[in-house]
Amino acid sequence: MRNLKRVLLAVFVLLLVLAVLAFVLENQQSVTLVFLGWDGPELPVSLVMVIVLLVGMVVGPIVSWLLGRTYRVSRKRLA
């Protein structure tokens, strides 16, 4: 049973790596993003998407923590 879990995990990781590789290879077109008048550097679409994903993975938990903290403080005031 333990070996089956390892094999399934390895297959899942391999499929995930193949999906990411296919995404990167299919999205090599360069784009320039404009945000609030600021022109970013010309980067491949796949790199822009990975950067956005990583920023979201950092910002999401921080916002969740701040909102949870605010909620706990407001509950203490009501009690």
pLDDT per residue as tens digits for the range 11-22: 999 999 999 889
pLDDT of amino acid 61? 93
Assess contact for 62 and 55: CB atoms under 8 A.
no
The residues, any chain, with a CB within 8 Å of residue 43's CB and separated by 6 or more, are 30, 31, 32
The Cα 58–Cα 53 span in angstroms is 9
pLDDT one-digit tens code per residue, 23-38 = 888 888 898 988 898 8
